[in-house]
Amino acid sequence: MRRDDRPTVLLGVTGCIAAYKACELARALVREGARVKVVMTEAATRFVGPATFRALTGEPVATTLWADPADANVFHTSLAEEADVLVVAPATANTIARIAHGEAGDLLATTALATEAPLVVAPAMNVHMWRDEATRANVATLRARGAVIVEPDSGELACGDVGEGRLADVRTIADAVLVELARARDLAGVRLLVTAGPTFEPIDPVRFIGNRSSGKTGYAIAEEAARRGARVTLVSGPTALPDPFGCATVRVTTAAEMHAAALEAFADADAVVASAAVADLRPAEPSEHKLKKAASADTPVEPLALERTADILAGMGAAKDGRVLIGFAAESRDVIASAREKLTGKQLDLVVANDITVPGLGFASDENRVTLVDATSAEELPVLSKRALARVVCDRLAALLAAPSAKTG
Ligand code: CTP
């Protein structure tokens, strides 16, 4: 249980001459009202002593997975759970590489791997290391996963070279951390309905009409919103994913079941994110028994009669009553124009439009490239991991809820 109400910032300090500036950062964050817990790599302790951070923060300083036998087996996960934000400043090329590759060789890398908290990284290194393709790729990996990179400044470096690589201004890093702390609670108390995954419409007891939706984006949004304080009901079609942490998950199979479960949660919801790929058509009369192969190759094949399913989101749009509604669109042409038609047709506040023609992205992949379309703008996002996309969607959701026309303030 939390000892106090202050948000917890985990400050990772790595082995670099700029490590002394992390002392100023720790002080700035403490002054801003944060509880600051410092994790140092072994190399960092050669530049600044743990006692300095201990004195500045009033908290124990963690330096190794193994220091205290009583704590050793839980240290990495306990720190990871406590963190509201993890900031690594200064971050060396080595630590950036470790985190990007998911290594867990020291306490800081292990904590970064284990935490669900947002990550802020403030690199500091020699200009050639900073510009090296390996570092570029590692930084790009972190950014695509949603990490905030506080770019280093240019100037004279400790090694005598001149160029980019100097740790950013401490105030700039502190501000980036404060923005992440605010974001960490910006959906507090919001009642959110998320629909996700495909629906399966039975043809007979063993066959169905379905689609390739994996549910990953919707699950990531549900989990991100819950992390930021929302009370989330996730209504999910059949997926291979575990229930997301901190959400009430309702599993359904057909469009009709999804409709019923969604309407129940909608009654109490402040906002809806409809990411489910709901079948538009279903077999009109599913067979009670398994359909048999025709007796001979010449026997005519019975056509499958289909009927429309209800458009769940359009129904919620018609009963909107001040709620914020975000829909998804999978388009293969005229992406923005088609998304805008859905926006107005279903009375939505935002459409996440997916260009399904981009090879290797979208359905079943871990990455997406989408355009966020509202009544007045279309924001084309870069290729993002589904988790990073979830963060952006939750940012827009929080902004829409804060807008004066929304039901909740
Ligand atoms: N939706 C829904 N219920 C349905 C169909 C769709 O709630 N029966 C929601 C989806 O969750 C999504 C949006 O509506 O948010 C997608 O709209 P839809 O009209 O189905 O568009 P697409 O399937 O993308 O494409 P098309 O225009 O070809 O139908």
Q: Residue 322: count other Cβ atoms within 10 Å of its Cβ.
A: 9
H-helix or E-strand spanning residue 231 = strand 231-236
Domain boundaries of the chain, sorted by first residue: 8-184, 191-283+302-406
Contacts of 369 (CB under 8 A, 6+ apart): 354, 355, 358, 361, 381, 382, 383, 384
Average pLDDT along the chain: 92
Best of 278, 324, 356 to mutate for ligand 1, by most ligand atoms within 8 A of CB?
278
pLDDT one-digit tens code per residue, 189-220: 999 999 999 999 999 999 999 999 999 999 99
Cβ atoms of 129 and 93 within 8 Å: the answer is yes
Nearest to 87 by CA among 108, 62, 72: 108
251, 254, 259, 262 alpha-carbon torsion, rounded to 10°: 10
- Above pLDDT 90, what percent of the chain? 78
pLDDT of residue 409: 36
- C-alpha–C-alpha distance, residues 127 and 207, integer Å: 60
pLDDT one-digit tens code per residue, 9-51: 999 999 999 999 999 999 999 999 999 999 999 999 999 999 9
The values of phi and psi at residue 91, to 5°, are: -110, 120
pLDDT one-digit tens code per residue, 277-286: 999 999 999 9
| DSSP category for residue 42 | T
Angle, CA of 244, 392 and 368, to the nearest 5°? 75
pLDDT one-digit tens code per residue, 345-373: 999 999 999 888 776 666 667 778 899 99
Q: What DSSP letter does each residue of 305-351 carry, written as one string?
A: PEEEPP-HHHHHHHT-TT-EEEEEEEESSSHHHHHHHHHHHTT-SEE
pLDDT of residue 408: 40
Q: From ligand 1's centre to the CA of 328, what distance in Å?
A: 7
pLDDT of residue 1: 40
Bridge partners of residue 367, in order along the sequence: 385
**255 CB near ligand 1 (under 6 Å):** yes
Q: Do domains 8-184 and 191-283+302-406 have the same CATH topology?
A: yes
**311 CB near ligand 1 (under 6 Å):** yes
CATH, domain 8-184, list 3.40.630.30, 3.40.50.720, 3.40.50.1950, 3.40.190.290:
3.40.50.1950
pLDDT of residue 332: 83
Mean pLDDT to the nearest integer, 255-264: 98
Distance of CA 183 to the CA centre of its chain: 12
pLDDT of residue 68: 57
pLDDT of residue 361: 64
Q: Residue 81: count other Cβ atoms within 10 Å of its Cβ.
A: 14
- C-alpha–C-alpha distance, residues 135 and 151, integer Å: 13
Both structure tokens of 187 = 């959906």
Ligand 1, atom nearest to 331 Cα: 24
pLDDT of residue 405: 66
Nearest to 79 by CA among 56, 55, 61: 61
Distance of CA 137 to the CA centre of its chain: 20
Mean pLDDT to the nearest integer, 325-344: 94
pLDDT one-digit tens code per residue, 44-71: 999 999 999 999 999 999 988 765 555 5
Residue with the larger pLDDT of the pair 144 and 251: 251
Please tell us whether the domain made up of 191-283+302-406 is placed in CATH 3.40.50.10300: yes
Q: From ligand 1's centre to the CA of 107, what distance in Å?
A: 45
Query: Which residue owns the Cα nearest ligand 1 atom 17?
Result: 329
Mean pLDDT to the nearest integer, 368-395: 93
| Cis peptide upstream of residue 300 (ω within 30 degrees of 0) | no
pLDDT of residue 3: 54
Strands 148-149 and 119-123: parallel
Both structure tokens of 133 = 């393709």
Rounded to two decimals, the pTM is 0.84
Q: From ligand 1's centre to the CA of 275, what distance in Å?
A: 9
Whether residue 221 has pLDDT greater than 50: yes
* Candidate list 16, 23, 159, 394, residue with the active-site label: 159
- C-alpha–C-alpha distance, residues 231 and 275, integer Å: 17
Ligand 1, atom nearest to 346 Cα: 14
Active site residue 247: no
Best of 211, 221, 236, 312 to mutate for ligand 1, by most ligand atoms within 8 A of CB?
312
- C-alpha–C-alpha distance, residues 194 and 109, integer Å: 32
pLDDT one-digit tens code per residue, 76-134: 678 899 999 999 999 999 999 999 999 988 999 999 999 989 999 999 999 999 999 99
